[in-house]
A = this chain, B = another copy of it.
Amino acid sequence: MIKKGLLIVISGPSGAGKGTICKEWLRRHPQTVLSVSVTTRPPRPGEKEGINYFFRTPEEFEKMRGENEFLECAEVYGHAYGTPKKYVQQHLMAGQDVILEIDIQGALQVKDRFEKGVFLFVVPPTMDELKKRITKRGTEGRDVILKRFHCAFEEINFIKRYNYIIVNDTVEEAVQKMEAILLAEKCRVDRNEELILQIQGGI
């Protein structure tokens, strides 16, 4: 039997460092599939089609949404983002773990549609740290930064819908916690129905 993969949803306020954690995770676990989102946002310098995002026009995006092709989709800072459902399901069925790095709005939609996912909420060690991280990125204007900071404050309240909280003290520790969480989840009784049937059949 092929064991189905796990869907790992890594989320949290903007600036918590989830991107860095994902990058380090994928460096250590190259067999994990990173879900690539569809977006209407124009590419930033260096971003590549099919690697960072699938870049689509608003019209193309709407067509996909109409055909129910997203596991989640949301508008963030004026642009649409969506996770292609088929892409994720194909990899899970093939036994590969899939990691979704998405904003909180998106994560909550996935939670409604795919509650067997593992939902990780990443927070910075302190809220001051969050403020620093949000403001020091420096590629956007003041309005965007303020808006993002305000969202971070509001969104933290959704933490209770997640399974795990990861305090991002260091990337090293955060990734170690993720490794533990994945191994533990794979031992959960409710994820091992086939194994339990096998054991019961053997007695």
**A-to-B contact residues, CB < 8 Å:** 121, 123, 126-128, 152-153, 156-157, 159-160, 162-167, 176-177, 179-181, 183-185, 187-189, 192, 195-196, 199-200, 202-203
Contact = CB atoms under 8 A, between A and B. Distances in A.
Given A153-B203, A156-B203, A203-B153, A181 B177 contact: no
11 contacts: A121-B189, A127-B202, A156-B199, A160-B196, A162-B189, A165-B196, A167-B195, A176-B183, A177-B184, A181-B187, A184-B184
Given A153-B203, A199-B123, A203-B153, A160 B184 contact: no
A164 B188 contact: yes
B127 A157 contact: no
A177 B183 contact: yes
A200 B158 CA distance: 11
Contacts of A156: 199-200, 203
Nearest to A123: B199
Q: Quickly give the copy total for this chain.
A: 2
Given A160-B196, A166-B187, A180-B180, 18 more contacts: A123-B199, A127-B203, A153-B203, A156-B199, A156-B200, A156-B203, A157-B200, A159-B189, A160-B189, A163-B188, A165-B188, A165-B192, A165-B196, A167-B195, A180-B181, A180-B187, A181-B183, A184-B185
A196 to B, nearest CB: 6
